[in-house]
């Protein structure tokens, strides 16, 4: 990041601050560089996050298609991107006219951030690549699910990175929108949609039949062949009539922004705690940033951790959710183990395992 130094009596002009980070991109992790959950997910179920903030989104009847989603290193040449999100069809399915079915990838913008573009014209830009050329669509949806906007883009050349830019109509204030810590707007990159869930109204906000609109009637049938792959990176949504260069953030800043929504603790660190009884000890675990809302807690493989009391090692058998506390800034976790003979208030040391399979997960995704 270049820094322009201003002398005394010099005005700050647009030219002087051009290129400085100003968080203009409302999409978090648009460069797909953060993947806290893992880098490849086969046979994905609905809602599976692939890279942080981007998840596999599907619904409908009779779904047989199967996808693998992954963080890829296939990126547009000549750019600074290091990663993309890849969708790969592993079991094919053609949707046809009915079934209410759709497949795609969604990211959601929190209301506090969405507010920055509300009632303004926006532009979305991204790099995309697929062997399957043709028309694809993007669906913008509000919190109340009573306004939807469908836009189209075309992949012109097979297996070639192409940059797409779409200027959007003013984000309407009609309907029910969230401007705080709820979902401000969801952005669905449609890969396939059944005929009873599509629309031919492109480029303007729709207020009728919104709950059954998930793509354009021109959308390709991406799931029709196991040869099909789709890559995307550099997703940027900004309040402007044209797209500017993708705003790269330092990795730590990007990671921290992702951790507002999901935090996986997998550091090999020790926490000091205190026994609540001879079979239970509690410790504090602070979060790196304030989470969006009270998170869901998942304690994977507690027995991989270690509790030390009076010099004796014990493996936890689980945790006691009734004596644990989960806030937006930290968690207090009460772990269970077999009796060690020591009583209440005896200090204990809890050594947390460094392993992707034993991580503690805190999920406050939209």
Partner 1 sequence: MINSAVYIYDEFGNKVYIDVTYSGEITRTVPINNENRHYQEILEWVENGGVIVDNGA
Q: Name which of 134 and 182 has its Cβ closer to partner 1.
A: 182
- Rounded to a whole number of angstroms, the minimum distance from the CB of residue 76 to partner 1 is 32
Rounded Cα–Cα distance for residues 334 and 282 (Å): 4
Give the residue from 344, 360, 363, 364 showing the smallest Cα distance to 271. Answer: 360
- Rounded to a whole number of angstroms, the minimum distance from the CB of residue 311 to partner 1 is 30
Q: Name which of 47 and 288 has its Cβ closer to partner 1.
A: 47
Q: Name which of 150 and 291 has its Cβ closer to partner 1.
A: 291
Q: Name which of 86 and 108 has its Cβ closer to partner 1.
A: 108
- Rounded to a whole number of angstroms, the minimum distance from the CB of residue 219 to partner 1 is 26
- Rounded to a whole number of angstroms, the minimum distance from the CB of residue 217 to partner 1 is 29
Q: Name which of 33 and 113 has its Cβ closer to partner 1.
A: 113
- Rounded to a whole number of angstroms, the minimum distance from the CB of residue 42 to partner 1 is 14
Q: Scan for tokens 């989470």, then name that residue.
A: 291
Give the residue from 108, 105, 59 showing the smallest Cα distance to 86. Answer: 105
Q: Name which of 129 and 292 has its Cβ closer to partner 1.
A: 292
**Contact set with partner 1 (CB under 8 A):** 181-182, 292-299, 321-326, 363-366
Rounded Cα–Cα distance for residues 96 and 132 (Å): 17
- Rounded to a whole number of angstroms, the minimum distance from the CB of residue 294 to partner 1 is 4
Q: Name which of 74 and 363 has its Cβ closer to partner 1.
A: 363
- Rounded to a whole number of angstroms, the minimum distance from the CB of residue 363 to partner 1 is 7
Give the residue from 326, 331, 333, 303 showing the smallest Cα distance to 316. Answer: 303
The upper half-sphere exposure of residue 324, i.e. CA atoms within 13 Å in the direction of its Cβ, equals 22
Q: Name which of 59 and 82 has its Cβ closer to partner 1.
A: 59
- Rounded to a whole number of angstroms, the minimum distance from the CB of residue 337 to partner 1 is 17
- Rounded to a whole number of angstroms, the minimum distance from the CB of residue 181 to partner 1 is 6
Q: Name which of 128 and 364 has its Cβ closer to partner 1.
A: 364
């Amino acid at each position: 990041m270049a820094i322009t130094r201003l002398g005394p009596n010099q005005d700050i002009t647009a030219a002087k601050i051009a290129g400085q980070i100003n968080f203009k991109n409302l999409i978090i992790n648009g460069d797909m560089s953060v993947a806290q959950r893992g880098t490849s997910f086969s046979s994905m179920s609905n809602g599976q996050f692939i890279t942080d903030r981007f998840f596999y989104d599907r619904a409908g009847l009779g779904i047989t298609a199967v996808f693998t989603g992954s963080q890829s290193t296939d990126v547009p040449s000549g750019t600074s991107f290091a990663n993309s999100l890849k969708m790969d069809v592993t079991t094919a399915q053609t949707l046809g006219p009915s079934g209410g079915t759709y497949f795609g990838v969604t990211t959601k913008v929190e209301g506090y951030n969405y507010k920055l573009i509300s009632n303004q014209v926006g532009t979305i830009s991204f790099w995309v690549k697929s062997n399957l050329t043709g028309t694809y669509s993007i669906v913008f949806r509000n919190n109340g699910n009573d306004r939807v906007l469908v836009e189209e883009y075309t992949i012109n050349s097979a297996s070639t990175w192409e940059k797409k830019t779409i200027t959007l109509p003013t984000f309407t204030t009609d309907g029910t929108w969230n401007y705080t810590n709820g979902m401000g707007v969801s952005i669905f990159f449609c890969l396939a949609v059944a005929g009873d869930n599509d629309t031919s109204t492109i480029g303007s906000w729709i207020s009728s039949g919104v709950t059954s609109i998930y793509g354009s009637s021109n959308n390709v049938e991406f799931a029709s062949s196991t040869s099909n792959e789709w890559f995307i990176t550099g997703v940027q949504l900004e309040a402007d009539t044209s797209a500017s260069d993708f705003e790269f953030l330092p990795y730590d800043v990007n990671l921290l922004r992702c951790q507002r929504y999901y935090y996986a603790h997998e550091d090999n660190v020790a926490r000091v705690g205190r026994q609540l009884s001879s079979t239970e000890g509690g410790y504090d675990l602070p979060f790196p940033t304030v989470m969006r809302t009270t998170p869901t807690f998942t304690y994977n493989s507690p027995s991989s951790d270690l509790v030390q009391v009076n010099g004796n090692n014990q493996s936890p058998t689980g945790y006691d959710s009734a004596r644990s506390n989960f806030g937006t800034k930290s968690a207090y976790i009460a772990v269970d183990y077999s009796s060690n003979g020591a009583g209440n208030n005896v200090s204990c040391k809890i050594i947390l395992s460094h392993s992707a399979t034993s991580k503690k997960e805190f999920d406050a995704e939209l």
